[in-house]
Amino acid sequence: MNKTEPIGGKANAELRALAPVEDFLADLHARVSQETGGAPADYIPELGKVDPSLFGIAIATVDGQIYAVGDTDIPFTIQSVSKPFMYGWALQRHGRPKVLERVGVEPTGEAFNSIVLDEVANRPFNPMVNAGAIAVAEMMPGDTQEQRVGNMLDLFSNLAGRKLDIDEAVFKSEMATGHRNRAIVYMMLNTAMIERDPNEVLDLYFRQCSVNVTACDLAIMAATLANDGTNPLTNKSVFDAHYVRDMLSVMNSCGMYDYAGEWAYEVGMPAKSGVSGCIIAVMPGQIGICVYAPPIDTQGNSVRGIRVCQEISSEFELHAFNNRTNVRSVIRRDYRADVVRSNRLRTLEERKILAKEGHKVAILEAQGALFFGSTEQLLRKMGQLAADSRYVVVDFKRVHQADTSARKLIVRAVRSMPGSATELAFASIGEDGRLDRLVCALAENEDGHRVRQFRDADAALEWCEDQILAGTAFGQATKFAVSEINLFNGLNAEECRLVESVIRPLVFEEGDVIMREGDDAKLFFVLARGTVSVQIKVHGKGNRKKRVASIGPGLTFGEMALLDGGKRSADIVANERVICYGLGVEELHELSAEHPNIMITILSNLTREFSERLRHANEEISVLE
Measured CA to CA, the distance from residue 409 to residue 379 in angstroms comes to 8
CB-nearer residue toward ligand DON: 277 or 558: 277
**Contacts of 424 by beta carbon, 8 Å cutoff, 6+ apart:** 382, 386, 391, 392, 394, 414, 417, 451, 452
The minimum distance between CB 8 and ligand DON, in angstroms, equals: 32
The minimum distance between CB 321 and ligand DON, in angstroms, equals: 25
The minimum distance between CB 32 and ligand DON, in angstroms, equals: 19
CB-nearer residue toward ligand DON: 255 or 554: 255
**Would you tell me how many other CB atoms lie within 10 Å of the CB of residue 325?**
12
Measured CA to CA, the distance from residue 317 to residue 310 in angstroms comes to 10
DSSP-assigned beta bridge partners for residue 4:
67
Helix (H) or strand (E) holding 504: strand 503-508
**Contacts of 209 by beta carbon, 8 Å cutoff, 6+ apart:** 77, 78, 79, 80, 82, 170, 171, 174, 274
CB-nearer residue toward ligand DON: 62 or 133: 133
Amino acid in the structure at residue 250: V
Helix (H) or strand (E) holding 175: helix 168-177
Helix (H) or strand (E) holding 430: none
CB-nearer residue toward ligand DON: 56 or 274: 274
The minimum distance between CB 38 and ligand DON, in angstroms, equals: 12
CB-nearer residue toward ligand DON: 258 or 609: 258
Known catalytic residues? 80, 83, 205, 257, 275
The minimum distance between CB 180 and ligand DON, in angstroms, equals: 7
Site residues, ligand DON (CB under 6 A): 79-80, 112-113, 130, 174, 181, 209, 273-275, 300
Count Cβ atoms within 10 A of the Cβ of residue 136 and give its class: 0-12 exposed, 13-18 middle, 19 or more buried. buried
Residue 522 and residue 584 in contact, taking contact as beta carbons nearer than 8 Å: yes
Helices and strands (H and E) in the chain: how many: 22, 22
The minimum distance between CB 130 and ligand DON, in angstroms, equals: 5
CB-nearer residue toward ligand DON: 44 or 248: 44
**Would you tell me how many other CB atoms lie within 10 Å of the CB of residue 268?**
21
Alpha helices in 358-487 (DSSP H): 372-387, 404-415, 436-443, 457-470
Q: Which residue is nearest to ligand DON (CB)?
A: 80
